[in-house]
Structure 1
């Protein structure tokens, strides 16, 4: 029996800043609201034990045999992922996962068996206040908007889904799917217990909030008429399966034409290998879409546990670290040779002057603009710039986009490429113009 390492993906919160002159003004104090620390859970929600198994069928085995494979081994079929060619099988009450895995592995139709893993959103424990929006200024987005607002580029957000907000683009029919509930409605139900739990909405607002509409915040891409948002809901408040993330990536790119994929999620442990299904999904779409992933968040002081996590540590993925208003890498941002770029993520501190503004509705603030910090919000800054670049150069390949973003980054931290910020801070204006540092960190 072959086994896969469990990839416990997690998500960090990051946000986009409002614009400067010429774009929508920053929200007034009445529009932004502070989220007190008491509104966030002091401990993470309980995580569901991993007992389900992911079963990969051999090539040539019809996917219609999924039920027979599961029942023949004494398990129950939970779901089928046709694009990934994987099944999720659950042990019966009297059958342990280990015994079920052994029986499944002995089936000649089965290629591999491994544990399913729940994906989780990383919450920032100290919730921010709203005062200033600085992220767009650091990446020089207003200068880039003079060239293109990013119109028409399909950008996928694989996350917790989306909630209705007047400052976030609506999802066109067919451009959303819920891989958690298996239906075409990607709505994120949120968590009524806490404000600001709509992680996918917050991420989407950073890269594509409606801009210049006299309301709320601005995104990296200009709206209305900005990016076409494609939403794959692969996480809920209790987590999600990595095969749902893989399935969401393939669906968004191969069936909905997404040219940029944002993955504000990552494994808990940098020493955990990405499951083959997730690796293969990213490899399959790497020639069609730019895949951007958060490098991950940690406060672990053990150097062996500070590295970049799955899936950001994979080839052909742009791994994004987080920076503060002074363009310094944040204390929580994961480090390592896999880091490609850095972008505003905020350093915390209970103030929007040091965090990132996002849009997210809650029961008490239907059109709220919470501030947050994390590499999950750094990633959509880069995804948004990639969309601007593809709007300007629709014929470019993902490889060309990745190379341009790295070459035109602003060298920060140590001179040259480093493990904190990679090639440097993403610069929207330079990405469109081709301007570089006199000695680029990544020539």
Structure 2
């Protein structure tokens, strides 16, 4: 008897080993119909990659003292860098400054020059044509919750009929420059508003959120923020079944949109490009610059650039950052932290402060920044459907999961920590894998969603369902982290996950359909709401100065939280109708 028990165990071990070695990597559902996505808009933060070193050199920003004219001081800086052997990459005559790449030894030589005012790292930053006539008609159901919160429809569609009111301020003749990750020029929401752009990442005049080397589209961060400002009525993008078929409309649909790309498809950029973009925006006649990006520390050269922009008529509006829940983070990100910049925090639809929104005395205003619906890269996001035995479950697609549909037998696979987790029923013929969130792998490392899905795909799964492990978090909004050879993957709530496990063996369908819009959360989403309201006010009275526009927005904001200005909400929630009413009492200047 003992021999048979032992033999049985051996057979069992061999069978498990065969499953473990099984690799079904050729069974993944094709995502060839989708654009190649390099950075999901649902996977953003203020953490940026370090700039790569070239020949031992690092990027720096150098400011020279103005002993003569600004241009002469800048040329002196260029000459000084070249004498040490460094390489100048950009020069800004107005700032008497240059961007350069230098070795530590070359930097030390420059630091000894008494005419050098400052040398600082070119720190990384990140994300948190002619204009056609604006589209005048659409549907009132395009008015998002955020749009209503900032009172935009009350300004230009007082009767709520879905048509722009004649002579109402809509941002006409105001140029708004979005300094971000570029845009998707195929998206119907932005084509009428686009007035030109510049790509500071690839150094050309086509600021697409696209890497021409890898031929990958980015995550649509810049498209999302730009559309919050300038999306058009009745533009007919592809939406999920629960949203209006016309898409969305921006806060100021009459503006001329300028696009300055400073972030690559992974959401990373540098300070030098922001300074150059700011100068380009001003030269193109922009009144407003919207920056949903930043870095945790200040830059003296960057601060000088924003001061110079303000002095020359450009109002910069920037996000406070999304690290508000980090106890080690105090204050706001930069450029939002500079006095010359309007710092914008985020609230939800109940006007409650978003816990992620960075706080501090620098906060000027807040705006909607939780689950904000706007445009993204065409077809890059997905609407998900999970159905088992005729019952449909609420679900979310995981970022970077490809569109596609598969129907097959549901197998429960524990925490999905290996290719053998689904048992001997898992074959390369295909199945739907259900796994629970959480756990660690064989080496004791945390099991990411990417690891789970990769194990399931190699075991033969053609689709994956991930159940949340926190009853309070609902369906959850998760990411696979990067583009890859994935299968359609969706998440469900803890309660629905328990129900699905009880239905193991049933026929189950997982379907992901590409859409052109997505709900995102962050101070990045709040910032363009304020930029749009500023454009409405400015279009009502073009003679206003940037300080006047800022004061109007702050004085007319809806006070939230502690009475008066506070570190969570600044002066309060930006309100377009209130600001225009306040404008009516402001004397006109000759």
Range into which the TM-score falls when normalised by the shorter chain: 0.7 to 0.9
Counterpart of 2:376 in 1: which secondary structure? coil
Query: Structure 2, unaligned stretches of length 5 or more?
Result: 1-36, 129-141, 158-167, 237-245, 382-513, 585-590
| Residue of structure 2 equivalent to 1:247 | 276
How much does 1:120 deviate?
1.6
> What corresponds to 1:163 in structure 2?
184
Query: 1:315 Cα shift?
Result: 1.3
Please identify, of 367-376 and 194-203, the stretch whose mean Cα deviation from structure 2 is larger. Answer: 194-203
Q: 1:430 aligns with which of 565, 569, 578?
A: 578
How many Å apart are 1:381 and its aligned residue?
A: 0.2
Shift of 1:67: 6.0
| Contact map agreement 2:321 2:358 (CA 8 A) in 1 | yes
- Contact 1:296–1:375 (Cα < 8 Å) also in 2: yes
Partner of 2:61: 54
1:231-274 superposed Cα distances (whole Å, 9 cap, x missing partner):
22222235222122122112212x11111111112222xxx3x2
- Aligned positions, number: 370
Alignment of 1:188-199 (within 5 A): 188-189=209-210, 197-199=219-221
Q: Given the superposition, is the C-alpha separation of residues 316 and 62 from structure 1 closer, same or farther in structure 2, using an over 3 Å criterion?
A: closer
Q: Is 1:121 matched with 2:127?
A: yes
Please give the alpha-carbon distance, in whole angstroms, between the structure 2 residues aligned to 1:275 and 1:141. Answer: 35
- Indicate the RMSD between aligned Cα atoms, in angstroms: 3.1
More displaced stretch, 363-372 vs 136-145: 363-372
From 130, 139, 147, the counterpart of 2:150: 139
CA distance in structure 2 between the partners assigned to 1:338 and 1:397 by the alignment: 21
SS in 1 for 2:62: strand
CA distance in 1, matches of 2:180, 2:40: 25
Question: What are the within-5 Å matches in structure 2 for residues 2-401 of structure 1?
Answer: 46-49=49-52, 51-59=58-66, 60=68, 61=72, 63=74, 68-91=79-102, 97-107=103-113, 110-122=116-128, 133-146=144-157, 147-164=168-185, 165-169=187-191, 175-189=196-210, 197-213=219-235, 215-222=246-253, 226-237=254-265, 239-253=268-282, 255-268=283-296, 272=297, 274-287=298-311, 288-302=313-327, 305-346=329-370, 355-362=371-378, 364=380, 368-401=516-549
Instruction: Write the distance in 2 (CA, Å) between the matches of 1:368 and 1:78.
Output: 37
Which structure shows the bigger proportion of residues in strand conformation? 2
Whichever of the two has the greater Rg, that structure is 2
Could you say what secondary structure the match of 2:269 adopts?
Answer: coil
Q: Deviations over 1:203-234 (max 9, x none)?
A: 10111111244532111012xxx101122222
Q: Which residue of 2 aligns with 1:409?
A: 557
Give TM-score scaled by structure 2 length: 0.57
For 2:112 and 2:540, the matched residues in 1 are separated by: 53
In structure 1, how many angstroms separate the alpha carbons of the residues matched to 2:211 and 2:562?
40
8 Å CA contact 1:166–1:367 kept in 2: the answer is: no
- Higher mean alpha-carbon deviation, 107-116 vs 370-379, is at 107-116
Deviations 1:376-397 (A, max 9, x none): 1101100000000011111111
TM-score of the aligned structures, taking structure 1 as reference length: 0.75
Q: Match of 1:262, SS?
A: strand
CA contact (8 A) 2:174 2:287 kept: yes
| Deviation of the 1:75 alpha carbon | 2.6
- 1:342 to 1:113, Cα distance in 2 relative to 1, 3 A: same
Residue 98 of structure 2 aligns to a residue whose secondary structure is: strand
Gap change, CA 1:259 and 1:337, over 3 Å in 2: same
> Distance in 2 between the 1:41 and 1:286 partners?
32
Native 8 Å contact 1:345 1:378 kept in 2: yes
Q: 1:100 and 1:295, CA in 2 relative to 1: closer, same or farther beyond 3 A?
A: same
Q: Deviations over 1:25-49 (max 9, x none)?
A: xxxxxxxxxx9x9996699785435
Separation in structure 1 between the aligned mates of residue 76 and residue 555 of structure 2, nearest angstrom:
49
- Runs of 5+ in structure 1 lacking a partner? 1-34, 92-96, 123-130, 347-354, 437-443
Q: Displacement, 1:121?
A: 1.8
Distance in 2, Cα, partners of 1:265 & 1:79: 21
